[in-house]
Structure 1
Amino acid sequence: MRLDNVTKTYGKGDNAVTALRGISLEVPRGTFTAVMGPSGSGKSTFLHCVAGLDRPTTGHVHLGDTELSGLKEAALTAIRRERIGYVFQAYNLMSALTVKQNVTLVARLADMAVDEAWLREVLARVGMSEHVGRRPNQLSGGQQQRVAIARALVTRPDALLADEPTGALDTRTSQEVLGLFRQIVDEMGQTVLMVTHDPVAASYADAVLFLADGQLAGQLNRPTPAQVAERMTHLGNW
């Protein structure tokens, strides 16, 4: 995925707020990238523009060879369903559905045939093969997040986007989920882009991008949690 000089402004005139200011970057296929920054730095807007949930005011967003910013809404909806996977802090599972039904929900809504062999592999990868008939209230938080990851993977997306995916989990479970992200990147070649506030979570990524005041404020490659925390400390004065 690639962003070319992306700017996003909300409102007009004296009430205008610019959330992103000329962001240009490329996220290589098959890599794990974390995005960090202080509150109000533009992280959520950045993720929404990459996902096609928000259109940039100026600039271009590309997913593979497809430019998202020029698509009509129906085409953009199809892209979001079929080529982008999402993992959220709050899991967003349907309480009335089983694990298997939750994992296949997006595919069924998009009227896509579910590859049963791939479904079994994805469920095995996330460690949920033995729980396909359970409902979310019968699962731990970590298990629910594993279901959400499986749901994001089952359509074989070009990119998996994660928004604070470990924010509601305890330390041990967070490490398990982050290790799973690392595994699907290394073993499946999946592209993962994760917004996080946690230096430990960011240290699992191949690269950490820092945002401040809507602008790119640096990058660290395979850093330690201490290096990430040190950089974040200085971002407040960026």
Structure 2
Amino acid sequence: MDAVTKTYGTGESAVTALREVSIGIARATFTAVMGPSGSGKSTFLHCAAGLDRPTSGRVRLGDVELAGLKEAKLTAVRRERVGFVFQAYNLMAALTVEQNVALVPRLSGHEIDGAWLRELLHRVGMGDRADRRPSQLSGGQQQRVAIARALINRPEVVLADEPTGALDSRTGRQVLELFRQLVGELGQTVLMVTHDPVAASYADSVVFLADGRIAGELRAPTAAQVSDRLTHLGEA
């Protein structure tokens, strides 16, 4: 992301959510993004994913410049190179666990790699529940299925928006430990927006946003360090 500015609206009603934001996310790392309400976290994630086009500046995913792509190509890049995990699991109630994970390549017209599908279900701890439906699963289990679905196309980056927000603390920790394993064992790149200092402490680094600008970075963070930094952001 290079000098990205995103403004919504025009004239006196214009709101600038991001202001000249420049940042690079290294491969095979786990990065958390934090900041006060209205700091630009969601817009940051949307621009990084190609869900929203910046008003100015450039966003690159690997060797692809997203801003210059037409909508059809941009959709294809998102589908094939970006995995998404949300607070709401967004699983299809009528489909089994295995069918939910296989849905993305099926909709894309791609052949499903059965061995990779089975490996993913095993890695996220759902190998013995492949034939169950979402209503038969706990919230944490549903989020594990959503993570497997995000990984099925072997994306370059997984973007997670408050992935533990609907989970209790114990289940949330299990999901965060799973992200850490995916980074360490599969070399996956994870970018996560969160409001929770404990969740952020699982990341390799935390990037702070305030008023649409980068307001600092904390490497090898602890929950206490993150909380302290957020307090100072609020005071600023």
Specify the TM-score bucket, using the shorter chain as the normaliser: over 0.9
**Which TM-score applies when normalising by structure 2?**
0.99
Alignment of 1:177-188 (within 5 A): 177-188=175-186
**Cα RMSD (Å):** 0.5
The amino acid that maps onto 2:83 is: G
**Which TM-score applies when normalising by structure 1?**
0.98
- State the partner residue of 2:187: 189
List per-residue Cα deviations over 1:177-203 (Å, max 9, x = no partner): 000000000000000000000000000
1:49 aligned residue (47, 50, 57): 47
1:149 aligned residue (147, 152, 155): 147
C-alpha distance in 1 between matches for 2:67 and 2:132: 39
Identical pairs, percent: 72
2:57 aligned residue (48, 56, 59): 59
C-alpha distance in 2 between matches for 1:34 and 1:210: 8
Secondary structure class of the residue paired with 1:210: strand
Secondary structure class of the residue paired with 1:236: helix
The amino acid that maps onto 2:135 is: N
C-alpha distance in 1 between matches for 2:7 and 2:161: 21
Alignment of 1:1-238 (within 5 A): 3-238=1-236
Deviation of 1:107 (Å): 1.1
Moved >4 Å (runs of 4+)? none
List per-residue Cα deviations over 1:43-102 (Å, max 9, x = no partner): 000000001000000000000000011100000000111100000001000101100110
Deviation of 1:237 (Å): 2.6
Aligned residue pairs, count? 236
C-alpha distance in 2 between matches for 1:36 and 1:169: 18
List per-residue Cα deviations over 1:112-139 (Å, max 9, x = no partner): 1111111111111000000010000000
Point out the more displaced range, 110-119 or 140-149.
Answer: 110-119
Q: Which runs of 5+ in 2 are unaligned?
A: none
Q: Which runs of 5+ in 1 are unaligned?
A: none
